Structure 1
């Protein structure tokens, strides 16, 4: 396995690897910083069959080609190996970087499509993410996001049955809070701090996408869940794309049910309580 990886890296990068240094952050794959014989550095993600690394490579290329988002160059991608350029990283997400991210994501969200979903299914945190093209956003968010991931979490034994019943009750009422007339926007899909790379106060790139066409609000909501972006981001984003009334008051919590359910499916634990509190907040 290691020899095949080394041979593939040599062919794809044009120089043999001489050092592998493990990096953190891999959810379903091992991530290494690889020093090549010619002095260059690349990043290699390796995983078992079904890890979705070929799909990740496709998504990175799609984000760059369709949305102009800064992402690593994909040098090679198959089901077991993703080889990328190494982005420079130093420091956290400063207010200036948040404003730059707002410019970049507003442009990305300006890329539209006929339907919600995507041309193929994708992955989030290594989990299958279904994307059947759907005309209505409420239908898509209900069936392919919260109900789908809720059932996955239920089947894993991490989501209690009574919470699934309450989730189904909420799913039938989404029209109380969500505008049915929203337009599809291309989103990164996994907008948390670990996927936003900065270098001395500037955005160097975005990694680990989970793309599809959605109401852009779901991306904005996700960015608040773990404190990725704050006032500096949203103040700048509004200059490009105004936020509809009720976003912070209602829909942030509603849309964040999806990443919370992803985390319940993956980890269980305290995320179950977060889902419980969100459902209670919406009267379910």
Structure 2
């Protein structure tokens, strides 16, 4: 194309390429689309068609399983019928990409009691009966990191063998021998810090402010889960890891009895998992946070 710079030429080709794929994905005439925030892992788009607006996340074909597992998590939360989640339409592949297609969530103005209602809805999800074992129907991902969900009768054993130990193994090149010894000691004494919940809870698994949206109804909607059946406290602990929610959220949540005595000590163990994952994914910038977390755990027993 005469007069079109190389960069713009490639963008134009990419636009035509995506338009063709979108037609195949939504099975409707695409009127327009634009890129939206989709996290560090995926490309994401809002698609306008003759029949409505859709949201699609895309990645390489080899990463299809990430979308399959995300879909399972969203559908598990939706099955509790207590909190807003996206309506999933389908997951699959085109000739060039894997994708996850869902209805577009229209944003609204938060209701006045937003944080109290969110806390109540999350507590109700956590209190929904999901069986007597910890784990999930399939392995999934925390970010892009594989997450093992083999069923287990003991929460403490599950968290040690399928959360902390795999993450420690992934980070052996990022940690000093002394760090590994300290982490191994924590795992050896985990039964002195953690306690067994009365029953497993369906947890979001990656609950921070970036994975909570305000829907058209003005209430909280949950997105991008890493679901499994675990201790409800892991979700609350992670909300505190990166900034936290307003105090009214925690005050309301506590009224439903899902946090037990000693939570302030246990939350550091639960957040150690996420900090180790960030160290693994993003590197040395999280090393100091990992050490600080280890120190807090060591002081707690």
* TM-score (norm. length: structure 1): 0.89
1:175 match? 191
Task: From 253, 256, 268, give the equivalent of 1:253.
Answer: 268
Instruction: Give yes or no for the alignment of 1:220 onto 2:236.
Output: yes
| 1:116 is aligned to 2:134 | yes
CA distance in 1 between partners of 2:251 and 2:105 (Å): 27
Report deviation, 1:270: 2.8
Question: Which residue pairs with 1:47 in the alignment?
Answer: 59
Change in Cα spacing, 1:255 to 1:177, as seen in structure 2 (3 Å) is same
Secondary structure of the 2:213 match is strand
Write the distance in 2 (CA, Å) between the matches of 1:143 and 1:276: 21
Change (3 A) 1:19 1:200: closer
The alignment partner of 2:63 has SS state of coil
Q: Which residue of 2 aligns with 1:23?
A: 36
Q: Following the alignment from structure 2 to structure 1, what is the Cα–Cα distance between the partners of residues 44 and 135?
A: 29
- For the 8 Å contact 2:123–2:258, the answer to whether it is kept is no
Would the alpha carbon gap of residues 181 and 43 (structure 1) be closer, same or farther in structure 2, given more than 3 Å must change? closer
Q: How far 1:3 moved relative to its partner?
A: 6.0
Structure-2 residue corresponding to 1:103 = 120
TM-score if structure 2 supplies the norm length?
Answer: 0.84
Considering only aligned residues, what root-mean-square deviation do their CA atoms show, in Å?
2.2
Of 263, 279, 286, the residue aligned with 1:264 is 279
Give, in angstroms, the shift of residue 69 of structure 1: 2.8
The CA distance in 2 between the partners of 1:176 and 1:87, in whole Å, is 43
Residue 84 of structure 2 aligns to a residue whose secondary structure is coil
Contact kept? 2:197, 2:231, Cα under 8 Å:
no
Which residues of 2 match residues 1-284 of structure 1 at below 5 A?
A: 2=18, 5-11=21-27, 15-38=28-51, 40-48=52-60, 49-51=62-64, 52-66=66-80, 68-78=82-92, 80-89=98-107, 96-111=113-128, 112-154=130-172, 157-180=173-196, 182-199=198-215, 202-248=218-264, 250-283=265-298
1:177–1:251 contact (8 Å) kept in structure 2: yes
Structure 1 or 2, whichever has the larger Rg, is: 2
Cα distance in 2, alignment partners of residues 62 and 181 from structure 1? 20
In structure 2, distance between residues paired with 1:19 and 1:160: 51
Q: 1:268 to 1:96 in 2, by over 3 A?
A: farther
CA distance in 1, matches of 2:165, 2:72: 26
Where 1:18 maps in the other structure, the secondary structure is strand
Instruction: Tell me how far 1:71 sits from its aligned partner.
Output: 0.7
Aligned residues: 276
Distance 1:61 1:200 in 2: 20
Q: Give the Å deviation of 1:90.
A: 5.1
Residues 93-132 of structure 1, C-alpha deviation per residue, up to 9 Å, x if partnerless?
A: 8873221211111111012322001111111112111000
What CA distance in whole angstroms lies between the structure 1 residues aligned with 2:216 and 2:55?
Answer: 20
Q: Distance in 1 between matches of 2:31 and 2:86?
A: 21
1:200–1:160 Cα change, 3 Å: farther
| C-alpha deviation, 1:265, in angstroms | 1.2
